[in-house]
Amino acid sequence: MKTYRIINIAKNTPVAERAEIAENAFSRMKGLLGRKLLNKSCALIIKPTSSIHTFFMKFPIDIAFLDKNNKILKIKHGVMPFRFISCPLGAKITIELPSGTLKASNTEIGDILAIQS
């Protein structure tokens, strides 16, 4: 599977070195289910997106919701398993990361993220 790098343009810092994209119905529905953990510096990019859930997951995650220009609209830190999260109006992409990643990279609402191949 092809992987991507996610860079916070506003801070010029890496957010994830190995991100996968879920962009078909099956891969979006499966998401991170079945994984025991999400390794440091990894991420899952979900597009398009309207909501996400952490049902049956085994670990907490950070979540960033992006608009069509990759600007962060909303951030959720340390989302525990068995939660449902609706995306904010205008969200086109969701990025799921290991818990603590967004704080560690100083990523905030309003920052622009670049997804590089």
Residue 56, pLDDT score: 87
What is the CATH number for 76? 2.60.120.1140
Question: pLDDT digit string (tens) for 61-82?
Answer: 999 999 999 999 999 999 999 9
> Distance (Å, rounded) from C-alpha 72 to C-alpha 60?
20
Residue 44 — pLDDT band, cuts 50, 70, 90?
very high
Domain count, the chain: 1
> Distance (Å, rounded) from C-alpha 96 to C-alpha 2?
17
**More reliable by pLDDT, 115 or 24:** 115
| Residue 61 near residue 79, CB atoms below 8 Å | yes
Task: Share the mean pLDDT of the chain.
Answer: 91
Give the dihedral sign, CA 1/58/112/49. positive
Q: What is the pTM of this model?
A: 0.91
- Domain span at residue 67 reads 4-116
Residue 57 one-letter amino acid: M
